[in-house]
């Protein structure tokens, strides 16, 4: 029960609260604030060289003696056709023109994986947790990281995915309900319309695996965290709630949109990045959806849409957010961890 369980004991956590590693929106200051408050701070490593990733971990270590979770999304080499690229460039050109951005460039981006250099860096820096999104990297990487005593976790959007992750060696599964902000972790091609919300997904994943399960998607306060524990979670992982904290690297237009969000303003779509993710709906989403064009595979699509938000235009920015964004209040990460932990504790005690 809240707060102590086999996961908190293994990871030496005061509170079973995990801050989602959200790419470069997560900063060493955010992760350190969460870990110093007794939760597990996380840093996204996508797109960083092994050297830069190592520097990011060192930045965290200067600010905290607590545990750290570093995260690598895994995707294959993005393969496109010239026709698909040309059609997307043609479609986006008027938006580039409106912002004086010149010609739409050639799409950029490669596979995302844990290279040998990244692996060597991980074995040297030894973060307490390494997590993955969209499945797992090659078996040798999983084995080497585990052999170094590092805890491994990855997200599942179905019970079948959770079973597969457990069979491949994860120490904990993150059950990602459809409420979640950011990219859908799905790695088995299950259609979005067939995926479950956390209330249905979590107990079924808890029943499907024997490793601890971390609940993600729509958890944002003591009530939702307590509910996740009632459904069998060993910890909660929050992304959207931490996005509004002052330590997060979130652009003003994005912060403003989060502050005005409600329960029905988000949509899951692959048109922004090339892979399904939940965003606050805006003109960029609507425009790409109505174009009927198939997006380029991640991260090539993102390389074309990202420049449109660089000037801070809310309508042209990728506004990642979960369905609980309307419940999120602006405060520091330490306040958020403490308030949520105490509130969940009170609520769960009232059931005794
Ligand atoms: C802006 C944003 C970026 C995210 N990026 C990642 C990521 O790089 N890796 C990852 O494992 N999860 C990522 N996630 C998903 C979270 O791990 C988690 O599933 C989700 O935030 C939980 O739902 P919530 O947003 O309702 O709290 C991201 C979430 C958000 C909101």
For the stretch 249-268, pLDDT in tens is 999 999 999 999 999 999 99
Q: What is the pLDDT of residue 222?
A: 95
Q: What is the pLDDT of residue 352?
A: 66
Neighbours of 251 (CB within 10 A): 16
Q: What is the pLDDT of residue 330?
A: 67
Measured in Å, residue 180 CA sits from the centre of ligand 1 at: 7
Arithmetic mean of pLDDT, 276-291: 98
* 22 ligand 1 Cβ < 6 A: yes
Nearest alpha-carbon partner for 130 in 233, 13, 21: 21
User: What distance in Å separates the CA atoms of residue 282 and residue 268, rounded to the nearest whole number?
Assistant: 12
Q: Where are the domains of the chain?
A: 6-76+111-246
Which atom of ligand 1 lies at the shortest distance from residue 176's CA?
19
Q: What is the pLDDT of residue 329?
A: 77
Q: What is the 3-state secondary structure (H, E, C) of the chain?
A: CCCCCHHHHHHCCCCCEEECCCHHHCCHHHHHHHHHCCCEEEEECCCCCHHHHHHHHHHHHHHCCCCEEEEEECECCCCCCHHHHHHHHHHHHHHHHHCCCCCCCCCCCCCECCCHHHHHHHHHHCCCEEEEECCCCCHHHHHHHHHCCCEEEEEECCHHHHHHHHHCCCCEEEEECCCCCEECCCCCCCCHHHCCCHHHHHHHHHHHCCCCEEEECCCCCHHHHHHHHHCCCCEEEECHHHHCCCCCCCCHHHHHHHHCCCCCCEEEECCCCCCCEEEECCHHHHHHHHHCCCCCCCCHHHHHHHHHHCCCCHHHCCCECCCCHHHCCCCCHHHHHHHHHHHHHHHHHCCC
Arithmetic mean of pLDDT, 138-167: 98
Mean pLDDT of the chain: 97
Residue from 27, 239, 324 whose mutation best tests the ligand 1 pocket (most atoms within 8 A of CB): 239
Residue from 183, 224, 276, 327 whose mutation best tests the ligand 1 pocket (most atoms within 8 A of CB): 183
Q: What is the pLDDT of residue 2?
A: 74
Nearest alpha-carbon partner for 257 in 305, 310, 306, 325: 325
Which atom of ligand 1 lies at the shortest distance from residue 44's CA?
8
* 177 ligand 1 Cβ < 6 A: no
pTM exceeding 0.95:
yes
Measured in Å, residue 183 CA sits from the centre of ligand 1 at: 7
Arithmetic mean of pLDDT, 144-171: 98
* 176 ligand 1 Cβ < 6 A: yes
Which atom of ligand 1 lies at the shortest distance from residue 220's CA?
27
* 324 ligand 1 Cβ < 6 A: yes
Arithmetic mean of pLDDT, 53-81: 98
The CATH class, in words, for 6-76+111-246 is alpha beta
Arithmetic mean of pLDDT, 329-340: 92
Cross-strand bridge partners of residue 269: 277
Measured in Å, residue 102 CA sits from the centre of ligand 1 at: 32
Confidence of residue 351 (pLDDT cuts 50, 70, 90): confident
User: What distance in Å separates the CA atoms of residue 345 and residue 326, rounded to the nearest whole number?
Assistant: 23
* 265 ligand 1 Cβ < 6 A: no
For the stretch 83-128, pLDDT in tens is 999 999 999 999 999 999 999 999 999 999 999 999 999 999 999 9
Arithmetic mean of pLDDT, 300-314: 97
For the stretch 11-20, pLDDT in tens is 999 999 999 9
* 216 ligand 1 Cβ < 6 A: yes
Which atom of ligand 1 lies at the shortest distance from residue 25's CA?
1
Confidence of residue 146 (pLDDT cuts 50, 70, 90): very high
User: What distance in Å separates the CA atoms of residue 143 and residue 152, rounded to the nearest whole number?
Assistant: 10
* 71 ligand 1 Cβ < 6 A: yes
For the stretch 188-235, pLDDT in tens is 999 999 999 999 999 999 999 999 999 999 999 999 999 999 999 999
* 273 ligand 1 Cβ < 6 A: no
* 171 ligand 1 Cβ < 6 A: no
Which atom of ligand 1 lies at the shortest distance from residue 278's CA?
31
CB 321 within 8 A of CB 266: yes
């Amino acid at each position: 029960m809240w707060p102590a369980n086999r996961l908190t004991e293994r990871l030496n956590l005061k509170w079973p609260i995990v801050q989602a590693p959200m790419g470069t929106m997560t900063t060493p200051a955010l992760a350190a604030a969460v870990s110093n408050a007794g939760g597990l701070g996380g840093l996204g490593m996508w797109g960083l060289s092994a050297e830069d990733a190592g520097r990011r971990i060192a930045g965290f270590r200067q600010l905290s003696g607590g545990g750290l979770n570093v995260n690598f999304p895994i995707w294959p080499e993005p393969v496109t056709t010239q026709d698909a690229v040309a059609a997307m460039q043609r479609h986006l050109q008027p938006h580039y023109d409106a912002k004086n951005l010149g010609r739409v460039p050639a799409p950029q981006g490669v596979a995302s994986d844990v290279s040998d250099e990244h692996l060597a860096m991980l074995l040297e820096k030894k973060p307490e947790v390494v997590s993955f999104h969209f499945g797992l990297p090659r078996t040798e990487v999983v084995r080497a990281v585990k052999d170094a005593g590092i805890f491994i976790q990855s997200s599942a959007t179905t019970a079948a995915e959770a079973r597969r992750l457990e069979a491949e060696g994860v120490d904990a599964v993150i059950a990602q309900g459809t409420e979640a902000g950011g990219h859908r972790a799905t790695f088995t091609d299950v259609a979005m319309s067939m995926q479950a919300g956390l209330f249905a997904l979590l107990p079924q994943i808890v029943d499907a695996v024997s490793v601890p399960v971390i609940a993600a998607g729509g958890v944002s306060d003591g009530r939702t965290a307590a509910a996740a524990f009632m459904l069998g979670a060993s910890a909660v992982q929050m992304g959207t709630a931490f996005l509004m904290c002052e330590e997060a690297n979130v652009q003003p237009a994005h912060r403003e949109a989060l502050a005005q969000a409600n329960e029905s303003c988000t949509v899951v779509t692959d048109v922004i990045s090339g892979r399904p993710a939940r965003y606050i709906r805006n003109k960029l989403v609507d425009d790409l959806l109505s174009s009927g064009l198939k997006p380029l595979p991640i991260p090539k699509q993102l390389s074309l849409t990202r420049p449109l938000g660089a000037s801070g235009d809310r309508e042209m920015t990728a506004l990642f957010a979960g369905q609980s964004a309307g419940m999120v209040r602006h405060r520091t990460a330490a306040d958020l961890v403490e308030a949520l932990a105490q509130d969940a504790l009170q609520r769960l005690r009232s059931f005794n």
